[in-house]
A and B are shown apart, each in its own frame.
Chain A
Amino acid sequence: MKRLPFDTVLIANRGEIAVRIIKTLRKLGLRSALVYHEIDADTLAVSMADTAIRISGLTPIAAYLDIAQIIAATHKARAGALHPGYGFLSENAEFARAVIRAGITFVGPTPDSMELMGDKIRARNFVQRNGFPVAPSTVEEDDPGTFLSRARAVGAPLLVKPSAGGGGKGMRIVRDLNSLEDAIAQARSEAQRYFGDGRLYVERYVEHPRHLEIQVLGDEFGHVVHLFERECSIQRRFQKLIEETPSPALSLEMRQRLCDAAVGIARAANYRNAGTVEFIFDGANFYFLEMNTRLQVEHAVTEMTTGIDLVAEQIYAAAGCQLGFTQSDILQNGHAIEVRLCAEAPQRAYAPTTGRILMLEYPDGDDVRIDSGILEGQRITTAFDPMLAKIIVHSPTRIEAAQKACRAMRELILLGCETNASTLARILADDGFLRGQVHTGYLDENPFLAEGDAESALPAFLAAAALLTRPVRDSADAVPELHAALGSWRN
């Protein structure tokens, strides 16, 4: 094991990713410190951390975004390093600078890399200047007066995108150029509201695109390696639901070209630590989309197929260690699929759901990994993102992995809060998915996958419910006060 200049790492995050980071810290013999908002007091991450420090804020999210409180907590815990997880402050260059100024090791890339890649227009221009492919596009701020005519010249269909932010906010697909002006106005208003930055650009929208991304790792000695691709084409509202590796869409030669491009981009950016270069792929060409300067939700599929612990590598790289392997040491073994279990109702347009988790039983079996931050009894509120847990499976082939993941989703039992588990199982058993013929609009084009097959099972559910409550109602029928008798099964 490598010698590290710190013995405690503060985690500026919550939920499953906090649990994930704590597990690696334990493995490396490091202590974990965790900040938490009161609403998370009963969560798994708080119970697992060696030290938990309460932070407060007007809202729970505001607490996790409070740079001063988080840095004070890091000092209080005597933590020499800070891991931001994903989301929250993980890609905030100002935060990274404040952490470094406070004498704390930031587990992530340099603030300069974060700034370069965090602005999509700067990143796009940088990638293009370095000779890597970007989709035909034009940037508003180059000359705001001619933006509309330049956008028209790119040709439909177009994608209007904000320069800042992510998560699909402010993005618009324009198929009819007559509606371009309206789409730009709406996108600008959304971008201003969500990111405080209304700058836009447009690019050619690739119909039926696949979303492919390459995991990279860099150290401060200029070494950059890739850990192959992940395909994340199964999405709703531009947000990923199922991720896998290897991608069924890539030939050996195309995989090599993508990986080379990702390493080239990371090397040009002088990138350190773990990062992901995202591309869209139309079956023949690929275009740079953006680079995420952090650990990603879907990093687990890469870990399952390469055997490399990405959180450990992040900590080593942040501590100034050299990468312990070269490109030829990294091999892809078998096939891994990750599904995101979310508190949402797919049949109601994936609307968020809430509730108390009354029963929680995970599937088990060989090569089934559960990355979860939830516990039985925990209340799911609307304060955070709807993702509850990730279920990751590993098998020798893609079909076996899909079958294993499908079985796992049918075996997973979560009662008390509606989830997308049965929809995920349906996607994993879907012919188009099994043939690998997916794209980012696949769920929109196949709404039956969300609607579900619960209708056909409903009589059996009604029978079970009626029989389960029958003894009570049998007695209720015998007495005049129905409410009194119902009380006995109300608890």
Chain B
Amino acid sequence: MKHHFEVDGIDYPLWLVRCAEGYRLSMDNGVLASLRFSRQSERRGTLTIAGEREPVRFVIDGETIHLHMRGLARSLRYRDPMRAFASASREANHLMARAPIPGIVLTIAVSPGQSVSAGTALMTIESMKLETTIRAPKDGVVSRIHFKEGESFERDAVLVSLLEEGL
């Protein structure tokens, strides 16, 4: 069966199948063979790739797997293939300005019903003393502003929803 992991917003489809030496992982751009993973404890394990052993530290938090190996930390989100499909179709009619970073809303420059063109400043946000302007991704009409001034949000949260003009 095909599975998906999302890393930094990019979706990586992969296939994991049993083989004589353990598992084989097939991805779009290659194959890793003779894979094994042994757990030593709740948060510690060893990944073996073609006989090479790599210590791994991990925490599984909901659908996100946080891993540390080779001196690097990465978070991978398991994507349920059915749900990924559903959310993609739900977003199709809407244009959204999403938060590039987590933060709080400083000022809001538009109001619902207002027509905006691509690049119009919608709001300013602040995160750890860094100020950023959120701009309209496309032409449209402001349909909903999801946060009030002073409210905080996480990265990728929808800040402002737009409808295409005429809809």
Contacts and interface: CB of A to CB of B under 8 A. Distances in A.
A422 interface: yes
A418 B59 CA distance: 14
A460 B69 contact: yes
B34 to A, nearest CB: 11
Contacts of A361: 57
A325 interface: no
B128 A466 contact: no
B127 A359 contact: no
A146 to B, nearest CB: 32
Given A358-B59, A467-B37, A468-B58, A460 B70 contact: yes
A461 B3 contact: no
A462 B128 CA distance: 31
A102 interface: no
A469 B65 contact: yes
Contact of A358 (B7, B16, B66): B66
B129 interface: yes
Contacts of B47: 460, 463-464, 467
A461 B72 CA distance: 10
Interface in A345-404: 347-348, 351-354, 356, 358-359, 361, 381-382, 384-386
Interface stretch (B24-32, B85-93, B115-123, B139-147): B24-32
Interface string B31-67: 0100111010001010101000010111111110111
Contacts of B129: 167, 385
Interface in A466-491: 466-470, 473, 477, 482-483, 486, 489-491
Contact of B101 (A351, A461, A468, A469): A351
Contacts of B76: 461-462, 465
B106 to A, nearest CB: 10
A284 interface: no
Interface in A423-465: 425, 452-454, 457-465
A461 B80 contact: no
Given A466-B14, A467-B37, A415 B57 contact: yes
Contacts of A466: 3, 5, 14, 16, 23, 25
A413 interface: yes
A421 B25 contact: no
Contact of B62 (A347, A386, A490): A490
Interface in A201-242: none
Nearest to A359: B59
B84 interface: no
B32 A358 contact: no
A386 B102 CA distance: 12
Given A463-B25, A469-B65, A413 B78 contact: no
A55 interface: no
Nearest to A409: B71
A419 interface: yes
Interface in B90-106: 100-104
A154 interface: no
A354 B155 contact: yes
A69 to B, nearest CB: 20
A30 interface: no
Given A466-B14, A473-B3, A382 B127 contact: yes
A358 B35 CA distance: 26
Contacts of B70: 457, 460
Contact of B80 (A460, A467, A482): A482
A414 interface: yes
B35 to A, nearest CB: 5
Nearest to A61: B129
Nearest to B47: A464
Contacts of B60: 468-469, 489
Given A459-B30, A461-B74, A467 B35 contact: yes
Contacts of A458: 7, 12, 74
A257 interface: no
Contacts of B68: 359, 413, 415
Contacts of A358: 59, 61, 66
B74 A352 contact: no
A464 B58 contact: yes
Contact of B128 (A384, A459, A463): A384
Contacts of A468: 37, 39, 45, 58, 60, 65
Contact of B103 (A344, A382, A459, A467): A382
Contacts of B69: 457, 460-461, 464
Closest 9 pairs (CB-CB, A-B):
A410-B71, A467-B37, A415-B66, A352-B128, A358-B59, A354-B102, A465-B76, A352-B127, A382-B127
Given A459-B25, A463-B25, A469-B60, 4 more contacts: A348-B100, A382-B127, A464-B47, A490-B62
23 contacts: A59-B150, A351-B127, A354-B154, A354-B155, A356-B61, A359-B59, A382-B102, A382-B103, A382-B128, A385-B128, A411-B71, A413-B57, A415-B58, A415-B73, A416-B59, A422-B71, A459-B27, A459-B30, A461-B7, A463-B49, A464-B45, A466-B16, A470-B16
